[in-house]
Structure 1
Amino acid sequence: MANNIEVKELLDAGVHFGHLTRRWDPNMAPYIYMERNGIHIINLYKTAAKIDEASEALKKIAASGRKILFVATKKQAKDIVADKAAKANMPYITERWPGGMLTNFVTIRKAVKKMQTIDRMKADGRFDTLSKKEKLQMNRLREKLDKNLGSIADMTRLPGALFVVDIKREHIAIKEAQKLNIPIFAMVDTNSDPRQVDYLIPSNDDASKSIDKIVGYVSDAVIEGLAERKAGKEAQAEGKDTPAPKAKAKPAAKAAPAPAAPAAPAPVAKAEPAKVEAEASEEEE
């Protein structure tokens, strides 16, 4: 994957621009290339290597069937993340992070089910029996729930991983994931502490071009993982449908002829006593 990542593309997207030197986090020192005009410049070769590492891990998670939750509530990132995550068929949060989204997941699921109940009422005609005021209240509740939780309606269990843009802004999401030992993937700028995440991608998390480029690489890796999972399922289904070839019955082996019984020795003829006496008398004479 790293071979497919062009450093020039990262450079053109402005991925290398960090924050002002006075706002840096010393733990980001290994990923900083130099200082220019009071701004830290990120080492893009290390960025490419980290993109490769994170992409491989995310591909495996997607191939295993687990969901990856994308989180980005900052203005310049929300539309990009929503678009990329939707293409990869993954849940995302681009509005305010609901407190307890992960640590109190059961309550969040109840809110999602409430939204689905309203949809069922509209489908089966029960919604039409309500008064005008009740309809208005229901529609407002439905719009509010859809805005905050509509993108995670299909997430029936805790995600297998989190992908975060700007870990300083999404610190609540980071803390909840840490409590539940959920792997955290993130774009980390020079003003953030990389020790908070499991897979960091040192990059500019403020410019929309930089965010679009990094999230694009990540979402492509997730789509690859889903494609591998689908191909594996199809191959498994084909294997089950195809009957196993019947083994041909081998002809029965011919019975070996029984060994011939050894011939009994001929009996020795006994001399008659009269004849023996005659022969003895002849010798005396």
Structure 2
Amino acid sequence: MEYEAAVKGPLKLKGVANKEIQNPVKSKVKHFNFPTDIKELLNPLKFPDYFGVRNLFKMKDLFNARVHFGHKEGTLDPNMKPYIFGSRLGHLIFDLDKTTELLQDALNVTAHIAHRGGIILFVCHNPQHTVTVENAAEQAGEYAHAREWNHPIFTNSEKIYNGVTRLPDLLILLSTLNPLMQEHTAVRDAAKLCIPTIGIVDSNSNPNLITYPVPGNDDSPTAVQLYCNLFRDAILLGKSKRSKVSSS
């Protein structure tokens, strides 16, 4: 069948089928919200915010927790330049607009995985934050590894545990570095095994292997406490939604 499409106006068809096809096309276009629906289909984790994670915090909360403080000038990882707002008194300052957006995305992903019954592992190797991280994981009903990392715990888990093991569905790294300022082994191992990761990346960290990087301070106790509380609450939101759906 020959047809021609005009730049403006409805699709015009030549032939007997013109009247039969043109009217249904008009009705479908009229009731289809292109901008919103297409975005939701392309990225269902953002549209809509099913769990309401965007209500968990405001940018002011990040500022009060000193999330915007980076390391000193001269220690900046080149891959972190897009997330830096500037510097003050020799210290780098994160752009909290970008941090807020990326943290919301990370919380949304966390809630979705919890909703689907996934296993979530909190990871941190800073002795200063061990108790904070473990308490958050316990309160969320999930797992934590806040000690020295056993190198083949992911890549050779069957031999370590003498059987088939289920690995986590998501890693939440409260810091992507170890106490020696080297990249945490879990970052590399998770990338090898295609395990999605959420990582708090400071100005001296490399975000390239992190699935959902969140630029921010990973040293301040107030900042780490805020991260733990937010991810704990996101997990609990996902689980509560799942329990409501299963009971109905």
- TM over 0.5, shorter chain: yes
Aligned 1:130-145 pairs, distance under 5 A:
none
* In structure 2, distance between residues paired with 1:90 and 1:5: 22
1:158 equivalent in alignment to 2:167: yes
Name the SS of the counterpart of 2:171 in structure 1: strand
Alignment partner, residue 278 of structure 1: none
1:183 equivalent in alignment to 2:190: no
1:208 equivalent in alignment to 2:221: yes
Instruction: Name the aligned partner's letter for residue 170 of structure 2.
Output: A
Alignment partner, residue 138 of structure 2: 86
Q: In structure 2, which of residues 210, 213, 217 is the aligned counterpart of residue 197 of structure 1?
A: 210
CA shift for structure 1 position 87: 0.5
Alignment partner, residue 95 of structure 1: 147
Name the SS of the counterpart of 2:118 in structure 1: coil
Alignment partner, residue 168 of structure 1: 177
Q: In structure 2, which of residues 120, 124, 141 is the aligned counterpart of residue 68 of structure 1?
A: 120
CA shift for structure 1 position 156: 5.2
More helix by share: 1
Between the aligned residues of both structures, percent identity stands at: 34
Name the SS of the counterpart of 2:177 in structure 1: coil
Q: In structure 2, which of residues 61, 73, 93 is the aligned counterpart of residue 9 of structure 1?
A: 61
User: What is the TM-score of this pair, normalised by structure 1?
Assistant: 0.64
Name the SS of the counterpart of 2:70 in structure 1: strand
Contact residue 56 and residue 230 of structure 2 kept, 8 A? no
The runs of 5 or more residues in structure 1 that have no matched partner are: 114-154, 236-285
- Aligned-pair RMSD on alpha carbons? 1.7
* In structure 2, distance between residues paired with 1:18 and 1:55: 22
Aligned 1:12-27 pairs, distance under 5 A:
12-27=64-79
Name the SS of the counterpart of 1:22 in structure 2: coil
Instruction: Name the aligned partner's letter for residue 179 of structure 1.
Output: K
Alignment partner, residue 34 of structure 1: 86
* In structure 1, distance between residues paired with 2:233 and 2:56: 12
Deviations 1:194-251 (A, max 9, x none): 112010111100111100111211111111111112222222xxxxxxxxxxxxxxxx
Deviations 1:59-109 (A, max 9, x none): 111111110111112022211110001001111101111121111122343
Contact residue 127 and residue 147 of structure 2 kept, 8 A? no
* In structure 2, distance between residues paired with 1:156 and 1:222: 22
* In structure 2, distance between residues paired with 1:3 and 1:230: 21
User: What is the TM-score of this pair, normalised by structure 2?
Assistant: 0.73
